[in-house]
Amino acid sequence: MSEVLVVVEATREFGVKKVTLEMLTLARELGAPSAVVLGGPGAAEALSARLGEYGAEKIYAAESEEIDGYLVAPKATVLAGLVSRVQPAAVLLASSQEGKEIAARLAVKLDNGILTDVVGLGADGIATQVAFAGSAIVKSKVSRGLPLVTVRPNSVNPIPVAASPVVEQLTVAVTDSDKLARVVERVAEQKGSRPELTEAGVVVSGGRGVGNADNFKLVEELADLLGGAVGASRAAVDSGYYPHQFQVGQTGKTVSPQLYVALGISGAIQHRAGMQTSKTIVAVNKDGEAPIFELADFGVVGDLFKIVPQAADEIRKRK
Ligand SMILES: Cc1cc2nc3c(=O)[nH]c(=O)nc-3n(C[C@H](O)[C@H](O)[C@H](O)COP(=O)(O)OP(=O)(O)OC[C@H]3O[C@@H](n4cnc5c(N)ncnc54)[C@H](O)[C@@H]3O)c2cc1C
């Protein structure tokens, strides 16, 4: 069975990211999953147990200060060498900012096609892809080279299958032009206890209808009760109600949780672009004609300041 390379996304504090486990699950349907860890010295050892729990049969470890100390260029170079040698059935990266940039550089180096924002991939190489800012779902296939795809977080249900991965150390040889953008400092994001927005199973978002920054406590309270992340529309962000890194939409983050709750959000096309692949959408809006209701699985026409506290009380009771 051909290998399928999964490029590992991980953080220093929390280890392997959920999207990596999702990609390993997807890779198992396509061939033999091999995880590729690109990081500083010792990076693979810290991650290997978790990667094995999700079926990684092999781990390629490219560990070097040259990988850790520079932006994505060295990673693309190492990957290009590995892909040329192994000739995998497919290469999967996360549809994150970094994953997409590595994939794009890899595609150029290999003169290979690329598909981004993929939400499904068959053994025949046909991908289901979210295109045109989320307004279209298309079937596509890389017609030049191997399937090189970036996978959107939350597209696949991660299922563990134990494996005992063999670790192979890769030689890291990068060029001077790979080392033009050096990392000078890393600052851990202040996150609190909420899950990361793009990886959360539940997202509760507030829009201009929330009215002001203080009222966003209501959005946060509901998110916390549901164990979810908080999002915001651009109008809410532009009005200063909530920080920009939580913006959902065409010019913000793309989310695809099991449950998306939209509070006081009208449902403009640019907002929908970032959340319309959510599995279940619940909307609360006092305007029954708001476009968000065209998309919602469950809609409540009413004042969010009455509805949300009632919903929160009910959730507390049932807990
Ligand atoms: C190039 C471009 C990129 C963009 N990118 C994004 C993007 O990434 N993300 C994004 O979100 N937008 C984006 N926008 C903006 C987008 O077009 C909309 O303006 C924005 O999404 C509107 O945000 P909103 O729904 O919160 O506000 P509004 O459209 O003002 O809607 C507020 C809603 O709240 C309801 N409401 C008010 N009070 C209450 C209450 N008490 N209870 C219940 N409901 C209430 C109202 O009925 C209304 O439907 C972009 C626009 C452009 C041009």
Same domain for 202 and 290, yes or no, is yes
What's the 219 CA to ligand 1 centre distance in angstroms?
A: 15
β-strand pairing of 15-16 with 10-11: antiparallel
Total structural domains within the chain: 2
Tell which of 122, 152, 179 closes a domain. Answer: 179
User: Which residue among 278, 285, 292 is best mutated to probe the pocket of ligand 1, counting the most ligand atoms within 8 A of its Cβ?
Assistant: 285
| Per-residue pLDDT, 187 | 83
pLDDT score, position 261: 98
Q: CA-to-CA distance for 291 and 307, rounded, in angstroms?
A: 19
> Does residue 192 sit within a domain?
no
172 lies in some domain: yes
* Within-domain flag for 271: yes
Q: Give the closest residue to 234 by CA, choosing from 207, 203, 198.
A: 207
Q: Alpha-carbon distance 216 to 127, whole Å?
A: 38
Asked whether residue 187 is domain-assigned, the answer is no
Domain shared by 151 and 219, yes or no: no
Last residue of a domain, one of 179, 214, 242: 179
pLDDT of 199 reads: 87
Ligand 1 centre to CA of 154 (Å) is 24
Question: pLDDT tens track of the chain, all 319 residues?
Answer: 799 999 999 988 789 999 999 999 999 999 999 999 999 999 999 999 999 999 999 999 999 999 999 999 999 999 999 999 999 999 999 999 999 999 999 999 999 999 998 999 999 999 999 777 667 889 999 999 999 999 998 889 999 999 999 999 999 999 999 999 999 998 877 667 899 899 899 999 999 999 999 999 999 999 999 999 999 999 999 999 999 999 999 999 989 999 999 999 999 999 999 999 899 999 999 999 999 999 999 999 999 999 999 999 999 999 8
CA of 276 to the centre of ligand 1 (A): 15
Interface predicted TM-score (ipTM): 0.99
pLDDT for the residue 191: 67
Does the beta carbon of 310 lie inside 6 Å of ligand 1?
no
Q: Identify whether residues 172 and 205 lie together within a single domain.
A: no
Residue 150 and residue 211 share a domain: no
pLDDT at 39: 95
What residues make up the domain containing 286?
197-318
Answer whether 291's CB lies under 8 Å from 270's CB: no
- Tell me if residue 185 falls in helix, strand or coil: coil
Closest by CA position to 49, among listed 181, 138, 163: 163
Annotated binding-site ranges: 208, 233-234, 247-251, 264-271, 285
